[in-house]
Amino acid sequence: MTVTREEKQSLIDLANEARKRAYAPYSKYQVGAALRTKTGRVFTGVNIENAAYPHTMCAERVAVFKAVSEGEREFEIISVATDNGGSPCGGCRQVLAEFGLDTIVLMADKDGRLIKETTVRELLPEAFTPEKLKP
Ligand code: THU
């Protein structure tokens, strides 16, 4: 299914809205994500930091985990909004790869500008996917 320009912008706007709810008192780097499933449902996520720093969770993974826990495993597109259009970390790339390399990834800044459009496949070359575990 194709994703229109308007739909992409709406996912970017949703990610930026969610971003306001980020809990990032330590880094002050607020991240929001909006993940659309192949069934058309949208799950948002924000980064959630912790006083015990390593227990912080990224916005993208919160969105993916919310979706999976609600029974969704097939994703079409995720938008990630940060102050400066930053890209998803390696851990989030790996988690996204688990559910498909063709998921479109939009990186946007705080003003809702699309900084880059790519795919999980491009972000994680030679990904370790579920197929690799097959005998
Ligand atoms: N962060 C995300 O939420 N997603 C990423 O892909 C990169 C990093 C968060 C984690 C932490 O709360 C803050 O950004 C600074 O690393």
CA dihedral for 113, 92, 100, 72, sign (positive or negative): negative
Domains of the chain: 5-127 (3.40.140.10)
Global confidence as pTM: 0.97
**pLDDT digit string, tens, across residues 89-99:** 999 999 999 99
C-alpha 47 to ligand 1 mean position (Å): 6
Break the chain down into helix, strand, coil percent, rounded to 5.
Answer: 35, 25, 40
60 labelled catalytic: yes
Q: Whose CA is nearest to atom 4 of ligand 1?
A: 58
C-alpha 64 to ligand 1 mean position (Å): 14
**pLDDT digit string, tens, across residues 46-69:** 999 999 999 999 999 999 999 999
